[in-house]
């Protein structure tokens, strides 16, 4: 998917191909449940969750890319705490990539979101 111009997360989801929409919605739902008090917003053409309600405060984001689904974990402290569980996964500096909808590890997504929410504010 090319960078979305959607103004809302619901608008973003509506743009996705059906085969990806359910997986991206499941990522969203896992984050929403694990991150009470965070604000959901669109930033850089993808959904994200912000502790302070601003784009600068985004701590988690996710997107449907052309070849994979991405989960952006902005906090280095949480990435370090999950080093063992993230080892061997397709991961860039802060981007965890899932090869397709069936490959999304919702348990890991939920745990990363929960750890982010429980971490002290930056």
- The reported pLDDT for the residue numbered 12 is 97
Give the model's confidence band at 2: pLDDT under 50 very low, under 70 low, under 90 confident, else very high.
low
Mean pLDDT of the chain: 95
Confidence of residue 3 (pLDDT cuts 50, 70, 90): confident
pLDDT above 90 (res 117) = yes
CATH number of 9-118: 3.90.1150.200
% of residues, the chain, pLDDT over 70: 98
Are the CB atoms for 48 and 56 separated by under 8 Å?
Answer: no
d(CA 77, CA 95): 14
- C-alpha 69/C-alpha 108 separation (Å) is 14
Q: Could you read off the pLDDT of 10-26 as tens digits, one per residue? A: 999 999 999 899 999 99
Quickly count helices (H) and strands (E) in the chain. Answer: 5, 5
Q: Tokens 């997504």 appear where? A: 109
The closest alpha carbon to 24, from 58, 60, 63, belongs to 63
pLDDT of residue 84: 96
Structure tokens at 41: 């917003």
Domain boundaries, the chain: 9-118
Question: Measuring CA to CA, how many Å separate 56 from each of 4, 65, 75?
Answer: 18, 22, 13
Q: Tell me if 43 sits within 8 A of 58, measured CB to CB.
A: yes
Q: 111 with 82: CB under 8 angstroms? A: yes
């Amino acid at each position: 998917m090319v960078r979305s111009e959607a103004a809302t997360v619901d608008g973003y989801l509506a743009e996705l191909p059906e085969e990806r929409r359910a997986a991206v919605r499941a990522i969203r739902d896992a984050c929403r449940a694990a991150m009470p008090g965070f604000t959901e917003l669109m930033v850089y053409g993808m959904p994200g969750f912000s502790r302070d309600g601003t784009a600068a405060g985004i701590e988690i984001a996710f997107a449907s890319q052309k070849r994979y689904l991405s989960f952006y974990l902005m906090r280095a402290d949480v990435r370090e705490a999950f080093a063992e569980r993230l080892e061997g996964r397709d991961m860039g500096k802060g981007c965890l990539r899932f090869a397709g909808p069936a490959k999304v590890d919702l348990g890991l997504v939920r745990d990363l979101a929960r750890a982010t929410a429980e971490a002290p504010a930056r």
